Structure 1
Amino acid sequence: PEVAYGGPGAAPMVSGRGGSGESLRPRPVSASDTVGSAHLSAYALTTRASLAIATPYREPGDHTIAGVAVVLLSLLTAERQGADESARSSALVRMLLGAEAAEVAPLLGDAPWTVVHAHGEGPPPTLGSPLVDVQPDGTVRILLPAGQEPAPQPGWTLGAGAPSQPHRLPVADAEAARALHRAEATRTALVRHRGSGLAALTDPDEAAAYARELLTPLGGGPLPGTLRTWLALHGSWDRTAVALAVHRNTVRQRIARCAALLDADLDDMDVRTELWFALRSAEAHSGHKE
Structure 2
Amino acid sequence: MTAIVGTGGNPVHSPSCTFGTNACTPRRAPRGEDRNVVDPSASAATVRALLSRADLKLRLATPEAALEPAALDRAARWVHSSDLADPTPFLSEGLVLLTTGTQFAEAGDDEQTHRAYVRRLQDRGVVALGFGSEVVRDGIPPLLESACLEARLPLFEVPYRIPFIAVARANAEAIAAESYARRTWALAAQRAVALAALRPDGLDATLAELARQLGAWVGLYDAAGGLRREHPAGQLDTATRGGLDTEVSAVLRRGARAGSALHVGDTPFSLQTLGRGGHLRGVLAIASGHLDAESRAVVTSVIAMAGLALEQNDGLQRAQGVLRAGVIHALLAGDVTLARRFVRELGDVLPSAPTTVCVAEGTPATLENAAEWLAVAATTDPVVFGRGPDGLVVAAAPESPLPEALVDRFPVRVGVSAPAAWAEFARAHDQALAALRRQRGAVARFGETAASGVLGALDSDLARVLAAASLAPLTDHDAARGTELLPTLRAWLEHDARIDAAAAALGVHRHTVRTRIAQAESVLGSDLSSFPARAELWAALQVSGL
Which category of TM-score, normalised to the shorter sequence, fits these structures?
A: 0.3 to 0.5
Q: TM-score normalized by structure 2?
A: 0.26
- Point out which structure has higher relative CO (alpha carbons under 8 A, 6+ apart): 1
Q: TM-score normalized by structure 1?
A: 0.45
